Amino acid sequence: MKNIMFKKLGTIMLALIIGVSVFSLFPTVTKAETTNVTWKNGSVVTSLGSVGQSDKATVGKTKGKWYWEVKVSHSISLVGITGESGPKYQGYYGYSGQIINNITSDVRTAYGPTFGLNDVIGVALDLDSDKIVWYKNGVSLGANTVKPSELEGSQVFPMVMNGTSGTMTYEANFGASAFKYSVPEGFLPYQATGESTKPDPSTKPDPSTTPDPSTKPDPSTTPDPSTKPDPSTTPDPSDTDGSSQPTGDRAILTVTMDNGLDKEFDLSKKELSAFIAWYDAKDAGRGASFFAIDKHNNNKGPFSNRKDYVIFNKILTFEVSEYSTK
């Protein structure tokens, strides 16, 4: 077991400590470099004034897994993807709750609920698996028959279309600011560059995600959360041969609040990485002011799930004690 203490010493010191101690055992969460993405008018807001008029983003993608959101201002709206040629080849989710797929032919299939004024339509484009999933106000609408690879040209672009006469606006968020809803696991904000599919720390983790129960350790093997690891067990940084490095797949996260209260959580490797990514991003001025942590074995009462929301500016220090269930 190894014990790692993090203190709020500023962005540079925090990043150094995390890189040396925790990230040697846990997956690296990269901060995505970004490039500005807008509609063709140079803004993230576009106005379309006639039926069938469409607009597309200034940047296309050829591979990777990408997410963006579009807030609509009218009940007759269409949100989806297009190829390099423009409106001829498109696939989109329509206001009537249908998928309209005219990539190869004009096929309409029932898909999800209707949507309209001020609804936020999320789009998860997976070019690696050749599929796309739409979200309405943070709720996934599931699989469909649209295949992005069938679009004309090598690039795929976000697009919107006016479904009726009269002017309507579409406000996109390609990742320049915090999304209204959580980015699906494994996806990057659309305006991020690179090929990594690790979540961007500037995005909010999904507080509704329930960890796989199969990853929970046998309660009989779970360390006593009240027992603090001996600091003398902290590994020597000079030890590089890996002989003393544990292969911990879980950790006890102890968060000390500014009022002196300690909060302890038994987390998986994935949950710990998400917490550290959120903390690091917020310390740099990005992301949500709070983070939801599943209480897991501390869940008391008749509830199926309970979460503890920790506030960034209330955290004094936090400590990570890793262990293996194997």
Q: For the chain, which residues make up each domain, given as ranges?
A: 2-31+204-323, 45-189
Give me the pLDDT at residue 314, please.
85
Give me the pLDDT at residue 213, please.
43
CA distances to 43, 49, 56, 59, 194 from 155, rounded to whole Å, are: 21, 26, 12, 9, 15
Q: Give the 3-state secondary structure of residue 164.
A: coil
Nearest CA among 20, 68, 70, 67 for reference residue 45: 70
Give me the pLDDT at residue 88, please.
57
Give me the pLDDT at residue 65, please.
94
CB 308 within 8 Å of CB 243: no
Token pair belonging to 130: 């050749």
The rounded distance, in Å, linking the Cα atoms of 191 and 319 is 33
DSSP letter, residue 20: I
Nearest CA among 128, 42, 125 for reference residue 82: 125
pTM: 0.52
Nearest CA among 1, 20, 2, 4 for reference residue 12: 20
Give me the pLDDT at residue 284, please.
83
Beta bridge pairs of residue 204:
none
pLDDT tens across the length of the chain (326 residues): 445 555 444 444 544 444 444 434 433 333 345 578 999 888 999 998 888 888 999 999 999 999 999 999 877 788 999 988 755 567 888 888 888 877 766 678 888 888 888 999 999 999 999 999 999 999 999 988 888 988 888 899 999 988 776 788 899 999 999 999 999 999 999 998 765 334 444 444 444 434 444 334 344 334 444 444 444 333 343 333 333 333 468 888 898 888 888 888 888 888 888 989 888 888 888 878 888 888 776 555 566 667 788 888 888 888 888 888 76
Token pair belonging to 128: 């690696």
CA distances to 254, 271, 308 from 225, rounded to whole Å, are: 9, 17, 16
Token pair belonging to 116: 């309209």
Nearest CA among 280, 282, 299, 142 for reference residue 211: 299
Give residues with Cβ within 8 angstroms of 71, minimum separation 6: 118, 119, 120, 121, 170, 171, 172, 173, 180
Give me the pLDDT at residue 89, please.
65
What is 45-189's CATH topology? Jelly Rolls (2.60.120)
CA distances to 36, 198, 300 from 284, rounded to whole Å, are: 20, 19, 35
